[in-house]
Chain A
Amino acid sequence: MGPQDVVITGIGLVSCLGEGTEAHWQAFRSPQLPPPVNTEAFPPYPVHMVPEIDLNLQIPKRGDQRQMEAWQRLGVYTAGLALDDAGMKSDETMCASMDMIVAAAGGERDVQVDETIMSGAGQAADFEVFLNERLTNDLRPTLFPAQLSNLLAGNISIVHKVTGSSRTMMGEEGAGISALATAVARLSSGQSTHMLVGAAIHNEAPDKLMVFETGQLLHQGPWQPVWSRTGEGQGSIIGSGAAFLVLETRAHADARGRKAYATIEKVVAGRTKREGHALRDGIAALASDAGLASGSLIVSGATGMRDITQAEEQALEAHALRGYGSLTGHLREVQMPFGVAIAALALAHGEALPPISEPEKPFSGAPERVAATSVSTTRGEGIVVLARA
């Protein structure tokens, strides 16, 4: 333990399991299967949708809400939960010197405009001219800021006044890993004292499904745990959700008398080819770099894509995995921060998480350390090791 240790002092969570730390802790303490999953909104795709949230609680100005798209509202709301939880909300001095790293995609589209253009494309004498005409006349000016990746962070600055610095990382699951890795490195080296780190994704729209389905990643048919999706037409069940963490150095947290959930001991990341056994071996090597003792409790961000998920299962078979995507759906950029949050809750409660589904192994006793993994379907994998605060 040292003053430059990186500790978690604030957690904000929203997923299909509800909002806030308590709702999520209860949902992981006694997992209910199947979890909340909507099979009617986007057939044949099941989607883990977020429940109704009262945005006014964290985004008081209606004007601000209107200027954002769903993923930004969800992210700004959840960032507010994390700041509240850390006792930093509305502390202007603290927020004005707070650094922020957000992992984001964005790329929101106007579905109606797209559909009009697609259906008219066949009749257009010159498609590109037709495209110019339709986009010029039909696009809402406010859509652009609502689709830019860095505008989740931008909206957090506006609504919560977090203005020390603002950086956005892109690149699917890897962005969530890099955001955490960079935040932890900056804090432990003295380049920052307190940071807001997180991500949000809102997938309840056909254009968002299309991003996944272009690569044929989406699961069809009834819900299954992530480890069991081995058949035809099975894969990722996507969800909407957000996870934000307030990270500080131990010295900074001690100075303001805050109790921490957990310490982040180590972050390791890599980029292994998704071919043959390379990924399995790459994950095993990362686990070894992370110093995971056999039988560790691991909150796994397995996506449900068969080959990727099996590689992780095989590489980490000595450990007690908890594939939380079974409960929340796959949250891509959010996956790593979300897993870290759940691991921190287990450490703070001094309780292991029970298995969510077969073939997860039991873990007995109170964990001293819990790890979180995120292995991308496409590129990038990482492990974060947390210890009791």
Chain B
Amino acid sequence: MSRDLDHLGRPLIAVTGMGVVTSLGAGLAENWAALTSGQSGIHTITRFPTDFLKTTISGTVDFLDSSSAGMGPLTLELGATAAREAIAQSGISGDFGGPLFLAAPPIELTWHDRLSVYEKGTGEGYARLLAAARSTDNRNVFETMQFGYVAERLADEFGVRGLPITTSTACASGATAIQLGVEAIRRGESDRALIVGADGSANAESMIRFSLLSALSTQNDPPQKASKPFSRDRDGFVLAEGGAALVLESLASARARGANILGIIRGCGEKADDFHRTRSKPDGSPAIAAIRAALADAGAGEHEIGYVNAHGTSTPENDKMEHLSLSTVFGERMPAIPISSNKSMIGHTLSAAGAVEAVFSLMTMREGTLPPTINYDNPDPAISLDVVPNVKRNADVGMVLSNSFGFGGQNACLVMAREPG
């Protein structure tokens, strides 16, 4: 049916299931209620001591069984929890039967595990570590430090088809995973795809690495006020954990099985930046190109976007660059397009962010409610945007742009819309 196809005759991609876990709680309902009431999930870190750390706050997810089990197990549980919710909502039972695209952080041996092996040996340094590894059984440690481990466990639990793909495009990973799924369905490889974004990597070493790059906010007190995208006194992002999942299906197949259609992924755009490893090109040209590519892929005009789910990290540079890019694309209309940053409340969920924010973008259209940008008490005069300051707003939005930008020159943008009539 032509109403199931897009402007290029490709299958339209429906979302039929969504799940989410953030520091605000587990599940769509809980998250959406907290997000629209302007609640922050950012808190003082209790998972590990913060002595010597410049930043002592985070949006860690502390209420799961694996919350203290290290980044591999926690990333898995965040992803699995979100995927269970999404698949249940989609009404698909039994084996999922389509491919899995996972956005996840690079997994590493934890210090706890490294020391547990070290203690079994004698001598010093890595020689001792290697000898102990050879002479004792560390299979469990080995498994959880494999980059393919989380995807395999998810693949087994949900009965996905084929070799799952784990992608990392830094802070754009979630959006990239969605794009991979959209492309696979457009190619006709499958009628459906499971997208999972998960990141449980808030440990001391990870915090210190970001701190050494001056990327994190150090406004530790009070924690919930630290993430203040588009504010004059913003000083960095707040590292956080989260998971999100989306069931993507061709609209035709979703309609054929009578599924409830939550929204449409209309277009995806990407563009790499060649400027710097951790900074974006000052003129914003790669982000501009990614936004334009997403609009073109969606077959949508600039005037159709009714709301922007910002990348909005609360770093001085990102918010400035994002404002410049959006202003370039949307021109004089930009100050009138509402834009808000979920990160003001949940922090930056890194590899999961693109997927988490896609879920919230779809909820925004479904519920007719724009979540606010909280902590907007001191606007940056150089950034003239309608950031939906501090309090949610009712609005009838038919199409949303969601931005994701990351280290390594990663820029990925998604255009999402309501189900066509």
Contact = CB atoms under 8 A, between A and B. Distances in A.
Interface of A: 67, 100, 104-107, 111, 114-115, 117-119, 121, 126-129, 131-133, 135-137, 139-141, 143-145, 147-151, 153-155, 157-158, 161-172, 174-175, 177-178, 181-182, 185-186, 189, 191, 206-207, 209-211, 213-216, 218, 220, 269-271, 376, 378-382
B49 A166 contact: no
A185 B185 CA distance: 12
A165 B407 contact: no
A100 B272 contact: yes
Contacts of A379: 146, 148, 152
Nearest to A140: B212
Interface residues of B, number: 75
B212 A141 contact: yes
A91 B143 CA distance: 43
Contacts of A119: 124-125
Contacts of A186: 183
A106 B106 CA distance: 8
B274 interface: yes
Contact of A167 (B124, B130, B169): B169
Contacts of A175: 147-148, 166
Given A131-B111, A154-B409, A182 B127 contact: no
B329 interface: no
Contacts of B53: 132, 136
B141 to A, nearest CB: 6
B272 A164 contact: yes
Given A148-B106, A175-B148, A213-B130, A170 B277 contact: no
B252 interface: no
A117 B110 CA distance: 13
A323 B105 CA distance: 32
Contacts of B277: 67, 145, 151, 154-155, 158
Contacts of A100: 272
Contacts of A150: 168-170, 406-408, 410
A169 B170 contact: no
A176 B272 CA distance: 21
A220 to B, nearest CB: 8
B148 to A, nearest CB: 3
B7 interface: no
A132 B52 contact: yes
A339 B124 CA distance: 38
Interface stretch (B201-209, B236-244, B317-325, B355-363): B201-209
Interface stretch (B114-122, B340-348, B385-393): B114-122
Contact of B163 (A132, A136, A161, A269): A269
Given A119-B125, A132-B53, A170 B104 contact: yes
Contacts of A148: 106, 168, 170, 407-408
Contacts of A155: 277
Contact of A118 (B114, B205, B274, B407): B114
Contacts of B208: 132, 135-136, 139
Contacts of A141: 212-213
B183 A214 contact: no
A34 B275 CA distance: 44
A207 B138 CA distance: 16
A214 B141 contact: yes
A149 B173 CA distance: 11
A378 B146 contact: yes
A38 to B, nearest CB: 16
A171 B148 contact: yes
Nearest to B275: A158
Contacts of A67: 277
B292 to A, nearest CB: 14
B108 A107 contact: yes
A193 to B, nearest CB: 15
A166 B411 CA distance: 9
A61 to B, nearest CB: 12
A172 to B, nearest CB: 5
A145 B406 CA distance: 12
Contact of B276 (A158, A218, A220): A158
Given A150-B170, A168-B167, A211 B274 contact: no
B147 A129 contact: no
Shortest 6 CB-CB contacts between residues of A and residues of B: A154-B408, A171-B148, A206-B126, A215-B142, A166-B272, A141-B212
B281 to A, nearest CB: 10
A300 B170 CA distance: 32
B24 interface: no
Given A106-B106, A144-B213, A214-B142, A169 B270 contact: no
A170 B103 CA distance: 10
Given A132-B52, A178-B165, A165 B106 contact: no
A153 B52 CA distance: 33
Nearest to A118: B118
B263 to A, nearest CB: 22
B410 A178 contact: no
A132 B212 CA distance: 12
Given A154-B409, A155-B277, A170-B106, A380 B163 contact: yes
Nearest to A95: B274
Contacts of A216: 133-134, 138
B210 interface: yes
B261 interface: no
A131 B204 contact: yes
Interface in B250-281: 270-278
A185 B409 CA distance: 24
A348 B212 CA distance: 49
A182 B106 CA distance: 20
8 contacts: A121-B115, A128-B49, A132-B208, A150-B406, A158-B275, A164-B271, A182-B165, A269-B163
A240 to B, nearest CB: 17
A172 B271 contact: no
A262 B389 CA distance: 57
B268 to A, nearest CB: 10
Nearest to A133: B52
Contacts of A220: 134
A167 B167 contact: yes
Of the candidates A128, A164, A207, the one having the most CB atoms from chain B within 10 angstroms of its own CB is A128
A135 B205 contact: yes
A106 B183 CA distance: 27
B204 A135 contact: yes
Contacts of A139: 208-209, 212
A68 B189 CA distance: 37
